[in-house]
């Protein structure tokens, strides 16, 4: 029983209870769908990997790179093309690793590519621009 992480188990149970409570409140009309959507968006901002360890460090680089690239895109430095943004995010993440003194192998670069996709999902949802 020593291998069970009771904090994680407790967090899962609490999350399930909150989800059930929100569903009941929604069905009774005590909360709106907007509130549920906002709660979901808030949950989307919770990191999906631990910050410590090598993968967590790579994910931090990916997260920083994605945010930097999004800002560079908004300022017009990078085109809105998805492939151009991903290529730049890969370069940025690898640069951050190099600055920290990490030598990345092929498997590490492949992992960064996947972690960039995950970091993109963490970006806040943007409203469509009005013309």
pLDDT of residue 101: 93
More confidently predicted of 91 and 122: 91
pLDDT surpassing 60 at residue 29: yes
More confidently predicted of 94 and 128: 94
pLDDT of residue 53: 79
pLDDT of residue 98: 94
- Among all chains, which residue has been given the structure tokens 């409203």? 127
The string of DSSP letters for 2-47 reads TT--HHHHHHHHHHHHHHHHHHHHHHTTSS-HHHHHHHHHHHHTS-
Residue 102's SS3 state is coil
> How far, in Å, CA of 87 to CA of 118, rounded?
15
């Amino acid at each position: 029983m020593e291998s069970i992480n009771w904090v994680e188990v407790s967090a899962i149970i609490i999350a399930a209870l909150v989800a059930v409570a929100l569903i009941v409140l929604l069905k009774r009309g005590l909360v709106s769908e907007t509130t549920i959507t906002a709660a979901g968006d808030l949950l989307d901002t919770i990191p999906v990997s631990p910050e410590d360890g090598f993968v967590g460090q790579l994910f931090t680089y990916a997260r920083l790179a994605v945010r930097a690239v999004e800002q560079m895109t908004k300022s017009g430095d990078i085109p809105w093309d998805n492939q151009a943004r991903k290529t730049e995010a890969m370069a940025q993440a690898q640069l951050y690793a190099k600055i920290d003194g990490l030598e990345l192998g092929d498997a590490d670069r492949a992992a960064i590519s996947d972690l960039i996709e995950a970091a993109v999902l963490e970006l806040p949802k943007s409203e469509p621009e009005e013309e």
